[in-house]
């Protein structure tokens, strides 16, 4: 089954391009570390998922590019074509001239309705090119105007037009110290609207990825391109083909559906976080060896202690003893925050993956009480290595990972809302104070649900 990607706004288009790049370069990689047959199987599954090969020498990405101003899309299209390995469909993009001015209301209430038909036509065309449509993957930022506002509107339209399809939104959480001054307003409006239409929200936080670039990738002068490449690598590690069943004979064909089924058992809990281990610069890969037990141990602790990456993990955090409802606390010097999960998915790629022991992830104390641990944890595997990593483990988690960032954003937005600052910019385009209040209410509900896990 194929996934149609919708890239929205500057961020969405810049990241989307890196994602297709990463996937394509992985497929052409000869370091697959597995048999030729396996490699071919992997490649075919990947191509079916993301590319269309009909009338072109080069695979054509199954994507629709949308932006309200032309500069980024034209850059993205030309960079892809220049690579020689893949490209975008020349007709699959839509842009306007003026941009959305970082104004969610402009993106949602003005650009959305105005351009709905054209955009949905492009999506329909891509959907029809698929033999079997596996769902939609949208990429957007929350802070700006197009990705966030128009993105929320397009998500709604996708839900209305394809009620039975899976819909996964990839959302970029902006830096805490402003990229855009009204980013908290835009974020609150985006999240509350996406929650209604989307199946799940997969989040990447700019601050976290920035730290990964600085500390793990050793990049001195970090550019947005570096950040986007890390994000693309992490996304690739989730979406490239895997075997979802034990002893499965062929690569899973329904990645989005499988993801939803394993991770989103309840519509109130849709926020997914992503962690990778190991993560390092490409030139260090040849000199590093890892053992699976070591990687799994670290990954589990990253989950429990809500660590953003494999450095600086707090090993003091321990799961609560079963039978007591209070999480165990160490001495009163530091309160320990244990990250409770709804559901987890671990994806293993590379050497010896069939023999990895994941029992520690099935520990019931990691999970909330209302799900059977058997249903709360899943793992997908493949012997085929990804992106030159001999061993790679990814964790997609529906847990309290995003509780604190969400609470922060809502708090700051509420603070600003109380002073009524910038509200006139939104009411100008039809988003009133009641709309804000509705969004705040919806998100407080999500915060409350995750807090009480």
Partner 1 sequence: MTQSVVVQVGQCGNQVGCRFWDLALREHANVNKKGIYDEALSSFFRNVDTRSGGDGPDIYKGKICSLKARALLIDMEEGVVNEILQGPLRDVFDSTQLITDVSGSGNNWAVGHKLYGSQYQENIVEKLRKAAEHCDCLQCFFIIHSMGGGTGSGLGTFVLKLLEDEFPEVYRFVTSVYPSGEDDVITSPYNSVLAMKELNEHADCVLPIENESLFDIVNKIHQMANSGKLGSTVKQNSLVTSSAGSAKTVQEKPFDAMNNILANLLLNLTSSARFEGSLNMDLNEISMNLVPFPRLHYLVSSLTPLYTLADVNVPSRRLDQMFSDAFSRDHQLIQADPKHSLYLACALLVRGNVQVSDLRRNIERLKPSLHFVSWNQEGWKTGLCSVPPVGHSHSLLALANNTCVKPTFIELKDRFMKLYKKKAHLHHYLHVDGMEQSCFSEAISSLSDLIEEYNELDATKGGPRTDPPRLKIAV
Q: H-type helices in 69-130, by residue range?
A: 70-83, 104-105, 112-129
In this structure, are residues 407 and 290 in contact, taking their beta carbons and an 8 Å threshold?
no
* Binding pattern for the stretch 4-23 against partner 1, x by CB under 8 A and - elsewhere: ------x---x---------
Gap between the Cα atoms of 122 and 104, Å rounded: 23
Q: State both tokens at 286.
A: 């040849």
- Among the listed ranges 37-45, 57-65, 298-306, 443-451, the one in contact with partner 1 (CB under 8 A) is 443-451
Angle between helix axes 403-418 and 433-451 (nearest 10 degrees) is: 150
Gap between the Cα atoms of 350 and 451, Å rounded: 36
In this structure, are residues 240 and 385 in contact, taking their beta carbons and an 8 Å threshold?
no
Q: How many residues does the chain have?
A: 453
224 makes contact with partner 1 (CB under 8 A): yes
| Touching partner 1, residues 186-215 (CB under 8 A) | 210, 213-214
Residue of 23, 120, 123, 182 interacting with partner 1 (CB under 8 A):
182
Residue 430: CB minimum distance to partner 1, A: 15
Gap between the Cα atoms of 232 and 22, Å rounded: 6
- Among the listed ranges 24-32, 93-101, 147-155, 357-365, the one in contact with partner 1 (CB under 8 A) is 93-101
For 11-77, the DSSP string reads: HHHHHHHHHHHHHHHHHT-S---S-HHHHHHHHHHHHHHHEE-SS-SS-EE-EEEEESSHHHHHHHH
Q: H-type helices in 84-182, by residue range?
A: 104-105, 112-129, 151-161
Residue of 52, 72, 73, 172 interacting with partner 1 (CB under 8 A):
72
Residue 96: CB minimum distance to partner 1, A: 8
Q: H-type helices in 240-360, by residue range?
A: 255-263, 292-304
Q: Using alpha carbons only, what angle is made at residue 18 by residues 298 and 124, rounded to the nearest 5 degrees?
A: 115
Nearer to partner 1 by Cβ, of 146 and 262: the residue is 146
Nearer to partner 1 by Cβ, of 219 and 285: the residue is 219
Nearer to partner 1 by Cβ, of 134 and 149: the residue is 149
416 makes contact with partner 1 (CB under 8 A): yes
Nearer to partner 1 by Cβ, of 59 and 145: the residue is 145
Nearer to partner 1 by Cβ, of 18 and 48: the residue is 18
225 makes contact with partner 1 (CB under 8 A): yes
Residue of 221, 325, 332, 355 interacting with partner 1 (CB under 8 A):
221
| Touching partner 1, residues 257-276 (CB under 8 A) | none
Residue 205: CB minimum distance to partner 1, A: 13
| Strands, E assignment, 297-365 | 341-350
In this structure, are residues 272 and 202 in contact, taking their beta carbons and an 8 Å threshold?
yes
- Among the listed ranges 132-140, 261-269, 386-394, 417-425, the one in contact with partner 1 (CB under 8 A) is 417-425
> If binding means CB under 8 A, how many residues of this protein chain bind partner 1?
53
Nearer to partner 1 by Cβ, of 29 and 69: the residue is 69
* Binding pattern for the stretch 110-149 against partner 1, x by CB under 8 A and - elsewhere: -----------------------------------x----
Give me the residues paired with residue 271 across strands. 201
- Among the listed ranges 28-36, 96-104, 131-139, 260-268, the one in contact with partner 1 (CB under 8 A) is 96-104
Task: Tell me how far CA of residue 127 lies from CA of 120, 199, 261, in angstroms.
Answer: 10, 18, 22
Q: State both tokens at 60.
A: 């054509």
176 makes contact with partner 1 (CB under 8 A): yes
Residue of 35, 53, 71, 78 interacting with partner 1 (CB under 8 A):
71
444 makes contact with partner 1 (CB under 8 A): yes
180 makes contact with partner 1 (CB under 8 A): yes
For the beta carbon of residue 177, count every other beta carbon within 10 angstroms: 6
Name the strand (E) or helix (H) holding 214: none
- Among the listed ranges 55-63, 155-163, 175-183, 359-367, the one in contact with partner 1 (CB under 8 A) is 175-183
| Strands, E assignment, 99-211 | 133-141, 167-173, 200-205
412 makes contact with partner 1 (CB under 8 A): yes
Residue of 94, 175, 290, 338 interacting with partner 1 (CB under 8 A):
175
| Touching partner 1, residues 50-69 (CB under 8 A) | 69
In this structure, are residues 200 and 396 in contact, taking their beta carbons and an 8 Å threshold?
no
Residues that bind partner 1 (CB under 8 A): 10, 14, 69-72, 75, 97-103, 145, 175-182, 210, 213-214, 219-225, 227, 410-412, 414-416, 418-422, 424-425, 440-441, 444-445, 448, 452
């Amino acid at each position: 089954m194929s996934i149609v990607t919708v890239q929205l706004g500057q961020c969405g288009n810049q990241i989307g391009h890196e994602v297709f790049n990463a996937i394509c370069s992985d497929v052409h990689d000869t370091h697959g570390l597995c048999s030729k047959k396996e490699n071919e199987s992997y490649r075919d599954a990947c191509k079916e998922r993301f590319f269309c090969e009909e009338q072109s020498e080069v695979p054509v990405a199954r994507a629709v590019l949308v932006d309200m101003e032309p500069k980024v899309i034209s850059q993205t299209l030309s960079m892809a074509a220049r690579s020689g390995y893949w490209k975008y469909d020349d007709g699959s993009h839509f842009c306007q001239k003026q941009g959305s001015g970082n104004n969610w209301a402009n993106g949602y209430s003005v650009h959305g309705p105005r351009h709905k038909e054209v955009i949905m036509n492009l999506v329909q065309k891509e959907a029809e090119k698929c033999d079997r449509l596996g769902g939609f993957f949208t990429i957007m930022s929350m802070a700006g105007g197009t990705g966030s506002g128009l993105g929320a509107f397009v998500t709604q339209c996708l839900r209305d037009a394809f009620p039975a399809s899976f819909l996964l939104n990839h959302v970029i959480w902006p830096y805490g110290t402003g990229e855009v001054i009204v980013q908290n307003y835009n974020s609150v409006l985006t999240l509350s609207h996406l929650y209604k239409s989307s199946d799940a929200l997969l989040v990447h936080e700019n601050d976290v990825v920035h730290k990964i670039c600085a500390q793990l990738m050793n990049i001195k002068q970090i550019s947005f391109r570096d950040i986007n490449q890390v994000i693309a690598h992490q996304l690739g590690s989730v979406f490239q083909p895997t075997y979802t069943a034990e002893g499965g004979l062929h690569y899973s064909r329904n990645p989005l559906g499988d993801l939803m089924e394993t991770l989103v058992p309840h519509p109130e809990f849709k926020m997914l976080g992503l962690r990778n281990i190991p993560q390092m610069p490409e030139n260090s890969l040849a000199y590093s060896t890892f053992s699976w037990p070591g990687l799994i141990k670290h990954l589990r602790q990253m989950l429990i202690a809500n660590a953003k990456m494999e450095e600086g993990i707090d090993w003091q955090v321990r799961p609560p003893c079963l039978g007591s409802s209070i999480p165990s606390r160490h001495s009163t010097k530091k309160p320990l925050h244990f990250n409770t999960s709804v559901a987890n998915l671990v994806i293993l790629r590379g050497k010896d993956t069939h023999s990895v022991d994941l029992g520690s992830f099935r520990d019931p104390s990691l999970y909330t009480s209302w799900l059977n641990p058997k249903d709360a944890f899943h793992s997908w595997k493949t012997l085929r290595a990804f992106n030159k990593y001999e061993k790679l483990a990814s964790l997609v988690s529906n847990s309290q990972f995003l509780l604190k960032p969400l609470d922060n954003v809502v708090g700051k937005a509420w603070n600003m809302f109380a002073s009524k600052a910038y509200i006139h910019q939104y009411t100008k385009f039809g988003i009133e104070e009641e709309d804000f209040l509705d969004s705040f209410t919806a998100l407080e509900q999500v915060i409350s649900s995750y807090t009480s896990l």
